[in-house]
Structure 1
Amino acid sequence: MTPTIKADDNFLRRILFALIFCAVVTGGVAAYAAVSADQTGVVNLSMSL
């Protein structure tokens, strides 16, 4: 194991964490829209994303 491989592994972990974080935030926004908006509003939100 060289430091370069470890650095690449950490970089990939950061990307994966960022993608998961974005997915959670997007899911939370979608869930909030589904609860607080009518069906038409949810469809419009889905179209805009």
Structure 2
Amino acid sequence: MTKYRELKVVFRPQETGNYYVFTGLWALNQDTWAQVDEVRMTGGSCADT
């Protein structure tokens, strides 16, 4: 991937609390890197409220 791209992931938690976001990738038999500029979690409450 040569250009920036927005990636959206839908996450529907089953309970309230703290959540951690991890970013990573695997490159098979090659050197690589990832640059993450912004991580954001938005939306309403979870199903247990």
TM over 0.5: no
Larger radius of gyration: 1
Normalized per residue, the structure richer in helix is: 1
> How high is the TM-score relative to the length of structure 2?
0.27
> How high is the TM-score relative to the length of structure 1?
0.27
